[in-house]
Amino acid sequence: MKLLRFGETGTEKPGLLDDGGTIRDLSAHVDDIAGADLSDAVLERLRAIDPDTLPIVDSTSRIGPCVGNVGKLIGIGLNFADHAAEANMALPEEPIVFFKATSCISGPNDPVHIPRGSNKTDWEVELGVVIGTTAKYVTEADALNHVAGYCIVNDVSERDFQLHRSGQWVKGKSADTFGPLGPWLVTRDAIADPQDLAMTLTVNGKTMQDGSTRTMHFSVATVIAHLSQFMTLHPGDVIATGTPPGVGMGLNPPVFLKPGDEMTLAIEGLGTQRQSVIAAP
């Protein structure tokens, strides 16, 4: 099942993508694609609805972030073996954890703003994991049972802010529009193996990232179990699980985003994001 949110920023409504690619309005059946409405019980109830009975949404409607009211947006750093090699950094012994401010979240096709003072804004296609039921001190064996579904995340990063402005990575990860989510939240039953998904990102039509979740250092289950030892994961929390090689910082010479660039991101089974790059207002 592919769930989504449509409408203008701040007033998005819940929707469903039917098998024919038509967006259907779920407003009569659920308040939002968020929080408690991501539980297994609610998702099972939505799964039982005949999509043909739902109103059709105007195809020109904006697609918003696929999860609303995100409590935590958690990033995992250096989690792909080939990306760590690209960065000339050793693989970590435990997952590297950072946070992106939830104010950075935007729709999958909304413009990405280059922040004022930035000259090193970079791209990162990532598998997003959306928590559906509370996870606290869970085991790896049980971890995936706490997942509502998966989505694409563009972990947009300003490398100078991230690495040279003191403190943790959050400064370089949290600018407005630095967290496009979606287009769909694909429920976990529709993804046979989250550790076997192709991932790509292009800039201006040129392929920059072409990888797979197979090269993750820590699996989705390992990441969830690990995080749950340090914090409670709540329904609607989103985890960005790391990126494959091909980020701008890793090129020789490095290449960074500029106004006028166009990014296209895809993960197998999870749809496509498309973003124009503009200067921050």
Burial 228-256 (b: 16+ CB within 10 A, else e): beeeebbbbbbbbbbbbbbbbbbeeeebb
- Residue spans of the chain under pLDDT 70: none
**What count of residues does the chain have?**
281
Residues 253, 256, 261, 263: is their CA dihedral positive or negative?
positive
> In this predicted structure, what is the pLDDT of residue 83?
79
With respect to CATH, is domain 65-279 assigned 3.90.850.10?
yes
CA dihedral 261, 184, 6, 232 (to 10 degrees): -100
Residue written as tokens 């040129």? Answer: 206
pLDDT of res. 230? 98
133, 39 in Cβ contact below 8 A?
Answer: yes
- pLDDT at position 237, please? 98
- Cα distance between residue 54 and residue 35, in whole Å: 22
Predicted pLDDT at 59? 93
For the chain, the structural domain boundaries read 65-279
